[in-house]
Amino acid sequence: MGKKIRVLIVDDSAVVRQTLADILSSDRGIEVMAKASDPLIAAEHIAREVPDAILLDVEMPRMDGLTFLQKIMSQHPIPVVICSSLAESGSDTALHALEYGAVEIILKPRLGAKQFLEEARIRICDAVKAAAASHVRRRVSFGPRDVPPKLTADAVLAKARIGQDAMLKTTEKVIVVGASTGGTEALKDFLMALPLDAPGVVIVQHMPENFTTAFAYRLDSICHISVKEAETNDTVIRGRALIAPGNHHLLLKRSGARYYVEIKEGPLVSRHRPSVDVLFRSAARYAGPNAVGVIMTGMGDDGAKGMLEMKEAGAVTIAQDEESCVVFGMPKKAIELGAVDKVLPLSSIAAAVMREGNR
């Protein structure tokens, strides 16, 4: 079995702590090292023994989760998974935690149908395993990124014309992107580097429902292109990125010269919903050589088989390199499968996508 992953659970609810402990203990590769009701008690545990990963709530007494996370990432970086509720008001705080260095967001488990509890177990255990395998770095600054200037009226009109022109072309390129652990920050860097006339982008980022709305809104406020949470029948146009809503699959479709997306429910695919494989397979079918596929940081193999189908359909396929990945799992599996044309550092992917998108 090898060494077990030691996890510290930090949550002010005794019920949540015990539920998480029961879920994690059901996996033979995970061991609950300790449970703490607040960050100060957690700090005492860390002083005695450093865990491989921390499950951290964001709202707690004595010290909030974000402050504790900042202290961890600036002093002694440890992989942190944020365990948050579905509350809309909490989604923005959880996204800040990702910016501050947390590697993943999961939903707090709640009682429900057997299928829901089993899916929660899979997601929580997978998130902890991904965190333990991640490469976290010390953070010394937690300030906001430079925000690009707001679009002028002329630029807005130009953006609209670009979208209309895209509708008329049958060879218009479509960029499809898949990411998981570490992907929120990778996607931010990638999308901020895209210019206004970038080909339409369709994204699956493994993230719980309700958080993708805030995530898309945040990206839209700092990127040159527009970013929104995808809805069924949204048209894929230049200058816009569509992000799969949490807990729903996202498919690329085509009607004549128009690319659009469809939101679907359904079972987990490659242990995920949304699944990168679902998006990539639809891109292979409906876009073929007009697609450019990008697979980014993440644990597991979601997207590898779908990317191979894209390559076989004539698409250009790109994987993020190991050095710039938080977890070199998904890109590695795609590379091993022979599904990748180019392996690039994160900082080079946007330029490569623009070269391919304008051919």
Q: Is 13 a catalytic residue?
A: no
Residue with tokens 């990206």: 219
C-beta separation of 210 from 86 below 8 A = yes
Are the beta carbons of 201 and 240 closer than 8 angstroms? yes
Residues 6+ apart with CB under 8 A from 337: 304, 305, 307, 308
**10 Å Cβ neighbour count for 75?**
10
Bond preceding residue 144 cis, omega within 30 of 0? no
CA 293, CA 284: separation in Å to the nearest integer?
A: 9
Query: Is 52 an annotated catalytic residue?
Result: no
Question: CA-CA distance, 53 to 127, in Å (whole number)?
Answer: 10
Clarify whether 11 is annotated catalytic: no
Catalytic residue among 180, 226, 282, 324: 180
Is 265 in a helix, a strand, or coil?
coil
Partners of 53 in beta bridges: 7
Residue 91, C-beta contacts closer than 8 angstroms, at least 6 positions apart: 84, 210, 211, 213, 214, 215
In the set 38, 248, 302, 324, the catalytic residue is 302
User: Strand runs (DSSP E) across 180-221, as ranges?
Assistant: 200-205
Residue 154: helix, strand or coil by DSSP? helix
Tokens coding 98: 């990702």
CB contact at 8 A, 292 and 353: yes
CA pair distance 264, 267, nearest whole angstrom: 10
Contact 194, 173 (CB under 8 A): no
User: Residue 217, CB half-sphere, CA atoms under 13 Å: how many?
Assistant: 10
Of residues 11, 45, 84, 206, which has the active-site annotation? 206
Residues noted as catalytic: 180, 206, 302
